[in-house]
A and B are shown apart, each in its own frame.
Chain A
């Protein structure tokens, strides 16, 4: 026992770098060397791509709640309707980056149907209008379990739905990109588009949560103090 103890079989401290990360760095460095773009260009684009917010998608939902004509356009062609909330999927690269594909489908929830989106094959996500996907959306756990046990996974997110509501999982496995248009909650009568947009959070548009008049995207988070705080 002491032998084993003395050897200190700790895992070595290394940064795990995946094959794809190495590939990305190599291609990027070659492109910079070749002069296709500069390191500064790359940083600026990464900054842009990583700071896209879900605000335009929230605006699209809020406007659809208020304007039936706009709602028709959003459901018919999400790619075109995105322009009306300030997102052109072709900009800035001209052909659909930072998401490569430009077919946005808006899934309308009804009293009897609740949509929820997953990409079982990787992590396809409507990034131009929803921003970067949350970490859990990309995990194998969410991806493999949502298609198989959707109600259990939704319950883990705090969303329990009665049996007469059809849970409809949308597996985003090809070039279509999906966002959910949840139902307008009670208690929001007479609200403006700005007020409504504030309660349509990212998770509501992935489909794992429902909008609530008291839960705004920019709300103050509750502070939970530790029960047994550590004293130094």
Chain B
């Protein structure tokens, strides 16, 4: 077995992220939960945008389990976590978003480590 092929071997026939199914334990949040996005350090790699840091939103979908990108980018796939699509009001992300379009929203996906109960 070639060590660096571990991802290919794990994902073949299942697909990524489905190959990590069952590795994260119970999900901490459920659909409808209000959450705040933490502002964690990200000096190496992250997929959490600056514009959601500190913002509050609602869990829209509990999507799948996978190692967080902060770990997976360094080939550290030992620990999976749950991922969530979180819905924000545009007005909560951009204070000068026009009031006329107060209904407008934005969804993005975050791993569990980035979320705290709001």
Contact = CB atoms under 8 A, between A and B. Distances in A.
A102 B83 contact: no
Interface residues of A, number: 31
Interface stretch (A13-21, A57-65, A172-180, A201-209): A172-180
A167 interface: yes
A31 interface: no
B83 A95 contact: no
A169 B83 CA distance: 18
A150 B13 contact: no
Contacts, number: 101
B49 A166 contact: no
A178 to B, nearest CB: 9
A105 B60 CA distance: 12
Interface in B19-78: 19, 47-49, 51, 61, 63-64, 66, 69
A4 interface: no
B15, B61, B110, B111: most-surrounded residue (chain A CB, <10 A): B15
Interface of A: 79, 89-90, 94-96, 100-103, 105, 120-121, 147-148, 150-151, 163-176
For the complex of A and B, the 10 pairs showing the least CB-CB separation, nearest first, are A102-B15, A95-B11, A171-B108, A174-B109, A166-B103, A94-B12, A169-B106, A95-B12, A96-B15, A167-B104
